[in-house]
A = this chain, B = another copy of it.
């Protein structure tokens, strides 16, 4: 069974990025994939200093093991200063080819202003660097404060459909590329 890990790159308490990730995860689950969210707000990760081992931080190993055993990823980032958040990039820096190569990834970005592809472009090139796949479908949510209902549901029907297409593509193509069900 195809296994997808979601990682959200925001540490904010009421994070739209984490909301968007949850929406994506639910839709991927509905298509029969096994999904797990790694919430960086609950992991104790150090800043990456280029070392291979971080023995004092067991969550580094947990992050690495969880991602290595997955077929695919959803990476969701707030767009900070027209780029991926340092928090998410640092989590990716703590992994490498062993964990990320050959995985199939879907990308989501969230920002307060007008939507933009900068952080998505960054992530696409970063994932490529470690020889991962990135699906063509991607989601940039602008003016995030107006995108969700108080219950955390997407207000806009068209955006909701994009999440459907995103989830479908991620699950279908992870199955094809990884040869799993």
- Determine whether A3 belongs to the interface, using a CB cutoff of 8 Å to chain B: no
Chain B residues with CB below 8 A from A47, complex form: 11, 86-87, 90
Interface size class for chain A?
35 or more
The interface residues of chain B lying within 8 Å CB-to-CB of A64 are none
Q: Which A88-103 residues sit within 8 Å CB-CB of chain B? A: 88-93, 96, 101
Q: Closest Cβ of chain B: how far from A128's Cβ, in Å?
A: 5
Chain B, residue nearest A50 (CB) = B12
Q: Which of B11, B50, B126 contacts A50 (CB 8 A)?
A: B11
A136 pairs with B132, CB closer than 8 A:
yes
Which residues of B have CB within 8 Å of A92?
80-81, 86
The answer to whether A86 touches B93 (Cβ under 8 A) is yes
Q: Does A137 contact B (CB under 8 A)?
A: yes
At the interface, yes or no: A61 with Cβ under 8 Å from chain B? no
Q: What does the 1/0 interface line of A105-144 toward B look like (CB < 8 Å)?
A: 0000000001111100110111011111111111000100
Give the distance in Å from the alpha carbon of A101 to the alpha carbon of B169 in the complex: 13
Q: Which residue of B lies closest to A10 (CB)?
A: B50
- From known contacts A83-B126, A124-B125, A128-B124, infer whether A78 and B91 are also in contact, taking CB-CB under 8 Å: no
Q: Measured between C-beta atoms, what is the minimum distance from A133 to chain B in Å? A: 6
Can you add 16 more A-B contacts, CB < 8 Å, to A47-B87, A82-B125? Answer: A10-B49, A11-B49, A11-B50, A49-B87, A50-B80, A80-B92, A81-B96, A83-B89, A85-B93, A87-B90, A89-B89, A89-B90, A101-B136, A114-B142, A117-B118, A173-B177
